[in-house]
Amino acid sequence: MSATIPGTVFSRTPVDAAAVDHALDGVRGACFWIEDLPVRPEHPVLRRAIDTDLLVVGGGYTGLWTAVVAKQREPGRRVVLVEAERIGWAASGRNGGFCAASITHGEENGRSRWPDQYDELERLGIANLDAIEATVEQYQLDCDYERTGELDVAIEPHQVEELRASGAEVLEADAVRRLVDSPTYLAGVLDPDVALVHPAKLARELARLAADLGVEIFEGTRATGIDGDGRNGPVRVTTETGIVTARRVALATNVFPSLLARYRMHTVPVYDYALMTEPLSAGQLASLGWEGRQGVGDMANQFHYYRLSRDDRILWGGYDAVYHYGRRVRPAYENRPETYRRLAGHFLATFPQLEGLRFSHQWAGAIDTSTRFCAFHGRALNGRVAHTAGFTGLGVGASRFAAEVMLDRLAGLDTERTRLDMVRRMPMPFPPEPIASIGIQTTRWALDRADHRGGRRNAWLRTLDALGLGFDS
Ligand SMILES: Cc1cc2nc3c(=O)[nH]c(=O)nc-3n(C[C@H](O)[C@H](O)[C@H](O)COP(=O)(O)OP(=O)(O)OC[C@H]3O[C@@H](n4cnc5c(N)ncnc54)[C@H](O)[C@@H]3O)c2cc1C
């Protein structure tokens, strides 16, 4: 059946160019979440030499959770965190805010890579989300946390077949449309183990909690080098303005070049784009239903994710995932008018009842993509340095789990986390340019083509699948 339907629902549902023009008229090129922060406390630049028990490099969620949990585990130890720019300015401040229990980038990816350990990975992921929720409640983190669950929607006939084959409890089209009303929905599944947060508020609040627990935070402090004395001596991290001597170091620098050369090829930045609407009126909201306020994702390879904010805006992101030759992170890559227009057109095709609504913000960010689509955990200097990155766009929740892994390892502990194959084994690195670029662009083209051909994967994608490098959302 699917093979007879050409294109995707978006190519079959043309949207009037004037409606897209109107929707984007006056849109600001800025991240809504960061602009929405009432106050962003500033932290000083490190301008001296400092000695500490634990140094954390990177002030996104991974670094902040590492600092917070380190103090919770051992309040007496000295913990210093250095951030090159501002706390939460990068992925952690500008993401979709879907805080999922999954630490494996979804069940399919986890089961295909670690079939024997998947049940444990799922249990640990749910416990991690519960621990995030408990922290939010205990310390009253003001981050618009809502445990809404996520609605995964099939918008093509072949996706309905995939849903039925998965064994999940499938909601038929009318049941899905009673939850959120779009003419594009053919079926859906509800995942209860997902919460929504205000991303930038979560980063700000974690920094507040860390500081309250005694963590010393420095912003505008870029670490530039790392080396260590002997097998067990202190580790020295140089910054542009100071030097830190630490017994242990946790590197939480995500998509940015690692201080450890050996891990630089393990991630590539892939740009993801998002739009935010103005607040919906009561009538516009009523036209959607959406009383459960679930996060929503469609099931294409190139998928959209969307959700409501606390003040009833809709964040609409995803679809285009753009890699630029040379694997650099550059603000210029965030400006991509053709992608914002495509996203706006897909939004209007999904919710035609919202024609006339405008977008207030558009922005982008770099996804720390790894070849296994979930985090890897490296080590250096005889176990005195731990490094985690590679969340591939699902790190809001998983970053806390990664923090626990780094702290377990830095303490030399043998735990259920450190025993996981996912933790013990490293994924393949990406190849150097130009092979990386050719491979990534070919994969993107093939995924787009599969979405347009009833989900059928070509020989290239089947080869990647066989090598454990294939991707399906
Ligand atoms: C547009 C977008 C949407 C996303 N949506 C979701 C979503 O809905 N759900 C989800 O789970 N995930 C999502 N993600 C992914 C998620 O945001 C990330 O996985 C997560 O924020 C990673 O946190 P982090 O702390 O590891 O990295 P980051 O937030 O990138 O923080 C790393 C920090 O390290 C600092 N740094 C780097 N090098 C140095 C150095 N040498 N010295 C000092 N500091 C340094 C950087 O300045 C940066 O602040 C999305 C990402 C993007 C870009």
- The pTM is what? 0.95
Q: Which ligand 1 atom is the nearest neighbour of the CA of 272? A: 1
Which residues have any ligand 1 atom within 6 Å of their CB? 57-63, 82-85, 89-92, 94-98, 100, 222-223, 252-256, 272, 274, 365-368, 391, 393-397, 399
Return the best residue to mutate from 396, 401, 473 for the ligand 1 pocket (most ligand atoms within 8 A of CB): 396
Where residue 167 sits, what CATH number does that domain have? 3.30.9.10
Give the domain-ending residue among 369, 391, 412: 369
Is 472 within a domain? no
Regarding whether 139 and 227 lie in a shared domain, the answer is: yes
| Cα gap 289→280, rounded to integer Å | 12
Is 388 within a domain? yes
Residue 339 belongs to domain spanning: 1-30+150-191+268-369
Q: How far is the CA of 145 from the centre of ligand 1 (A)?
A: 19
Q: Which two tokens stand for residue 197?
A: 């947060």
Regarding whether 222 and 157 lie in a shared domain, the answer is: no
Question: In the 8-state DSSP scheme, what is residue 278?
Answer: P
b or e along 457-472 (b: 16 or more beta carbons within 10 Å of the residue's beta carbon)?
A: beebbeebeeeebbbb
Structurally, how many domains does the chain consist of?
Answer: 3
Given its phi and psi angles, is residue 29 left (phi above 0), alpha (psi -120 to 50 degrees) or beta? beta
- Using alpha carbons, select from 332, 337, 341, 369 the residue that is nearest to residue 444: 369
Q: Which ligand 1 atom is the nearest neighbour of the CA of 396? A: 11
Return the best residue to mutate from 45, 83, 266 for the ligand 1 pocket (most ligand atoms within 8 A of CB): 83
Regarding whether 89 and 203 lie in a shared domain, the answer is: yes
Question: In the 8-state DSSP scheme, what is residue 324?
Answer: -
Nearest CA to ligand 1 atom 31: 60
Regarding whether 348 and 287 lie in a shared domain, the answer is: yes
Q: Walk along the chain (473 residues) and give the pLDDT tens digit of each residue.
A: 444 455 889 888 888 999 999 999 999 999 999 999 988 889 999 999 999 999 999 999 999 999 999 999 999 999 999 999 999 999 999 999 999 999 999 998 999 999 999 999 999 999 999 999 999 999 999 999 999 999 999 999 999 999 999 889 999 999 999 999 999 999 999 999 999 999 999 999 999 999 999 999 999 999 999 999 778 899 999 999 999 999 999 999 999 999 999 999 999 999 999 999 999 999 999 999 999 999 999 998 889 999 999 999 999 999 888 888 888 999 999 999 999 999 999 999 999 999 999 999 999 999 999 999 999 999 999 999 999 999 999 999 999 999 999 999 999 999 999 999 999 999 999 988 888 888 888 777 777 777 777 777 777 666 767 666 665 53
- List 305's β-bridge partners, or say none: 297, 317
Regarding whether 251 and 239 lie in a shared domain, the answer is: yes
Q: Which ligand 1 atom is the nearest neighbour of the CA of 274? A: 1
| Cα gap 441→438, rounded to integer Å | 5
Q: Which two tokens stand for residue 422?
A: 């996912």
Q: Which ligand 1 atom is the nearest neighbour of the CA of 391? A: 19
Nearest CA to ligand 1 atom 47: 84
Regarding whether 274 and 257 lie in a shared domain, the answer is: no
Q: Residue 169 class from Cβ within 10 Å (0-12 exposed, 13-18 middle, 19+ buried)?
A: exposed
Q: Which ligand 1 atom is the nearest neighbour of the CA of 97? A: 8
Q: Residue 337 class from Cβ within 10 Å (0-12 exposed, 13-18 middle, 19+ buried)?
A: exposed
Regarding whether 217 and 140 lie in a shared domain, the answer is: yes
Q: Pairing mode, if any, of strands 187-191 and 171-172?
A: antiparallel
Q: Pairing mode, if any, of strands 187-191 and 150-154?
A: antiparallel
Cis peptide upstream of residue 192 (ω within 30 degrees of 0) = no
- Sign of the Cα torsion 192, 198, 202, 203 reads positive
